[in-house]
C-alpha cells in the first residue's frame, strides 16, 4: 500500500518459501528458458537470473506449469524466465496481446437493444500496485476485473467506486445492494468450516467468489533476534503473538492451526499498525502478503531489523466477490469468469500484470 523496496518493486516480491543457494541453478539468465535441475528452488533460480530471491515474476510467467505450488519443482521442468521489464522474451513487445484484444473489442462492440445497468464495482484506494486511483485502470486487480467485462463474449458497462473502509464492503455495501462486486478478497477453504473462524465461515456462507485473478504469498516477519524469526513449521509458532490487519482474512492461518489459544491474534485496522507493533516489540510476528508488509518496513526504514521467514509461506488467491443476496450476483460472476478465463488463455492477463508493475515501478524512480 506504500512504496516497495527496489528489489520488491522490480519483481513484485512474494515470500521465499525455500531459500537455498543455487546448487543446480547456475546457467539461467533473464529473457530465456530454463530447465529445472536437482536442488533448484524458485528462490535460487531468481537469484541467479535476477540477483534476487524474489520470484514473483517467474511465478506469474509459469503459473500453469507450477500449478500453484512453488515448493515442488520437478527436475526437467522448463520455465520461462521473463526479461526484467516483464516481457516473456527479448523479441516480444510488452502488452502486445493487450493492445490486440482492446482493438478487437472496440471494432466488434455492438450496441445493446435493451438497457442494462452498469455493473457496480467497489474497491479501496492506496493499495498499489493492486488497487490505486494513481495507476492506469485503477491498478492491476481493478484493471483485470473491468477488462473481464469486455472479454469472453461480454460487453457490459461498469462503474468503479472507491471506499477505503474495506470491511464495510462485506458488512454493508455488498449485502445492501449498494454495489455488485468488490475488488478483491481471499476466499477461505470452505471445505473446512469446522476449523474456520466465525468471520471466515461468514465469507463462505454469505458470499460467492470469482475465479482467482491473482496469487500472492503470505509472508511471516519477525524481529531479527526474535525466537520465531526462523521457525521451520507452523507448529513452532505456538504461543506467538501474531498480527494481521482486521480487514484481511485469517482463513489461511486458521487452516494451518494458527488460532486462539494456540497463538494470540492481534487485529489492528491498518497494515502499518502491525509493522510498528512488531518493531516496538508488542507482537512477535507480522503476517500479510509480502508486497504490503515489505512496503511497510521500507517506509519505516526498518528492513534491516526484521527477518522474512524462509520456510513458512503459502499462496492465497485474490478473487472478486459478491453477496449471495444479490439476485444478479452469480450472473455477474459468470460473466467475469468467462472474461478472466479468456484473458488467461490469450496472455492478456499477464500483459495487464506486467504493464501494471512497469507503471508502478516508474513512479518510484
Q: Average pLDDT for residues 61-77, to the nearest whole number?
A: 79
Number of H helices, E strands in the chain: 13, 11
- Could you tell me which residues come within 8 angstroms of residue 26 by beta carbon, excluding any fewer than 6 positions away? 48
Phi, psi dihedrals of residue 289, rounded to the nearest 5°: -60, 145
Cα separation, 125 vs 282, whole angstroms: 28
Model confidence at 96, pLDDT cuts 50, 70, 90, reads: low
Beta-sheet pairing, 207-223 with 306-308: antiparallel
Query: Taking the CA of residue 29 as centre, how many other CA atoms within 13 Å lie in the half-sphere pointing to its CB?
Result: 5
Instruction: Read off the pLDDT of residues 232-285 as tens digits, 9 standing for 90 and up.
Output: 899 999 999 999 998 788 999 999 999 999 999 999 999 999 999 999 999 999
What end-to-end distance do the CA atoms of the chain give, in Å? 17
Q: Residue 331 and residue 213: Cα distance in Å, rounded?
A: 18
pTM given for the model: 0.79
- Model pLDDT, residue 33: 92
Q: Are 320 and 143 in contact (CB under 8 A)?
A: no
On the question of a cis peptide bond just before residue 184, with omega within 30 degrees of 0, the verdict is yes
pLDDT at 9: 43
Across the range 117-129, mean pLDDT stands at: 94
Give the Cβ contact number of residue 161 at 10 Å: 12
Phi–psi pair at 165, nearest 5 degrees = -80, 90
Helix (H, G, I), strand (E, B) or coil at 170: helix
Q: Over pLDDT 70: what percentage of the chain? A: 84
Residue-wise pLDDT for 284-310, tens only, equals 999 998 778 877 888 899 988 998 887
Q: How many CB atoms neighbour CB 37 within 10 A?
A: 19
**When comparing pLDDT for 90 and 185, which is higher?**
185
Give CA angle at 47 (41, 53), nearest 5°: 75
Helix (H, G, I), strand (E, B), or coil: what is residue 226?
coil
Planar angle of CA 160, 353, 29, nearest 5 degrees: 170
With cell 498480527, the residue in question is: 243
Using the predicted structure, report yes or no on whether residue 20 has a pLDDT greater than 50.
no
pLDDT in tens, 322-334: 999 999 999 999 9
Q: Is the pLDDT of residue 102 over 50?
A: yes
CB neighbour class for 305 (10 Å; exposed up to 12, middle 13-18, buried from 19):
middle
Q: SS3 letters for 282-325?
A: CCCEEEEEHHHHHHHHHHCCCHHHEEECCCCCEEEEEEEEEECC
- Tell me the C-alpha distance between 315 and 14, whole Å: 9
Q: CA 174 to CA 171: how far, in whole Å?
A: 7
Amino acid at each position: 500500500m506504500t512504496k516497495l523496496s527496489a528489489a520488491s518493486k522490480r519483481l513484485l516480491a512474494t515470500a521465499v518459501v525455500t531459500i537455498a543457494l543455487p546448487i543446480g541453478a547456475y546457467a539461467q539468465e533473464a529473457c530465456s528458458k530454463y530447465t529445472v535441475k536437482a536442488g533448484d528452488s524458485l528462490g535460487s533460480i531468481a537469484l541467479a537470473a535476477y540477483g534476487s530471491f524474489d520470484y514473483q515474476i517467474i511465478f506469474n510467467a509459469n503459473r500453469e506449469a507450477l500449478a500453484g505450488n512453488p515448493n515442488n519443482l520437478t527436475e526437467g521442468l522448463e520455465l520461462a524466465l521473463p526479461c526484467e521489464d516483464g516481457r516473456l522474451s527479448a523479441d516480444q513487445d510488452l502488452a502486445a496481446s493487450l493492445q490486440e484484444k482492446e482493438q478487437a473489442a472496440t471494432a466488434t462492440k455492438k450496441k445493446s437493444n435493451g438497457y442494462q445497468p452498469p455493473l457496480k464495482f467497489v474497491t479501496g484506494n492506496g493499495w498499489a500496485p493492486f488497487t490505486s486511483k494513481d495507476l492506469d485502470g485503477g491498478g492491476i486487480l481493478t484493471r483485470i476485473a473491468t477488462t473481464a467485462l469486455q472479454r469472453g463474449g461480454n460487453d457490459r458497462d461498469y462503474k468503479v467506486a472507491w471506499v477505503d473502509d474495506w470491511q464495510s464492503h462485506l458488512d454493508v455495501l455488498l449485502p445492501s445492494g449498494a454495489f455488485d462486486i468488490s475488488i478483491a478478497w481471499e476466499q477461505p477453504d470452505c471445505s473446512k468450516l469446522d476449523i474456520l473462524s466465525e468471520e471466515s465461515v461468514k465469507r463462505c456462507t454469505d458470499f460467492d467468489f470469482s475465479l482467482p485473478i491473482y496469487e500472492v504469498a503470505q509472508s511471516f516477519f519477525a524481529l531479527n533476534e526474535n525466537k520465531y524469526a526462523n521457525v521451520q513449521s507452523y507448529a513452532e509458532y505456538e504461543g506467538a503473538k501474531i498480527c494481521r490487519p482486521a480487514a484481511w482474512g485469517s482463513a489461511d492461518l486458521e487452516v494451518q492451526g494458527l488460532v486462539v489459544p494456540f497463538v494470540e491474534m492481534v487485529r489492528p485496522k491498518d497494515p502499518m499498525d502491525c509493522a510498528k507493533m512488531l518493531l516496538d516489540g508488542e507482537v512477535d510476528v507480522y503476517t500479510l502478503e509480502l508486497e504490503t508488509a515489505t512496503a511497510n518496513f521500507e517506509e519505516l526504514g526498518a528492513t534491516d531489523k526484521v527477518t522474512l521467514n524462509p520456510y513458512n509461506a503459502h499462496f492465497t488467491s485474490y478473487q472478486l466477490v459478491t453477496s449471495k443476496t444479490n439476485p444478479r450476483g452469480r450472473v455477474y460472476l459468470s460473466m467475469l469468469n468467462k472474461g478472466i478465463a479468456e484473458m488467461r488463455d490469450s496472455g492478456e492477463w499477464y500483459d495487464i500484470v506486467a504493464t501494471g508493475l512497469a507503471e508502478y515501478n516508474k513512479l518510484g524512480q
